[in-house]
Amino acid sequence: MNRLFLSIAMLLITALPVSAETLRGMVKAVHDGDTVVLVGRGTGRVTVRLYGVDAPETRKPDSPGQPFGSQAKRVLMFKVLGKEVTAEVQDRDQYGRAVGVLLLAGRDINAEMVAEGMAWAYRQFLNGPYASRYIALEEQSRRQRRGLWRDPNPQPPWEFRSRQKRRR
């Protein structure tokens, strides 16, 4: 009986979803509207890309940037720079960055960026419970013409990046 119980318990434990890594720290830098740098005890310095959102590109030495790119960066800076946050890591990207949901006092900062029209719901990389929420927030933001949705035909960042690569 004990073996049967143990076998069932092990099966249930392995079937449960693996919890995401959680990082805690102070936001020391904001690179753009969807990327921050956290510094914390035990985590060191970690670059975190906001999961499920894609903000307009900011101007860089080799790229002109997009409309609302600098505004998105400023909004994110105002929200989190110098503040203690939690990042619920969902993945790691090709550059080694943690990709996570940024939480400040229980607030989903990723969702706020979409709701305020400072980022798109990044459908290509969204799944689970965040997908329906972020997409609904984007649709509401579009209807209310918030942020980047004031532009009659905003260019998604993934299209902008693709065009910039072809020009090089």
**Residues involved in catalysis:** 49, 57, 97
CATH class of 18-167: mainly beta
Q: Which amino acid is at 164?
A: Q
The pLDDT score that the predictor gives to residue 165 is: 81
Low-confidence ranges of the chain (pLDDT < 50): 4-19
What would the pLDDT profile of 32-56 be if each residue is shown by its tens digit?
Answer: 999 999 999 888 999 999 999 999 9
Q: Where are the beta strands (DSSP E) in the chain?
A: 22-32, 35-40, 44-50, 53-54, 84-92, 98-104, 107-108, 120-121
CB distance 112 to 134 below 8 Å:
no
Cβ contacts of residue 124 below 8 Å, gap of 6+?
Answer: 158
pLDDT of residue 66: 95
Both tokens of 110, joined, read 């990723």
At 149 the pLDDT is 98
Q: Where are the domains of the chain?
A: 18-167
Taking a C-beta distance cutoff of 8 angstroms, is the pair 22, 88 a contact? yes
Residue found under tokens 């799944």:
127
pTM: 0.86
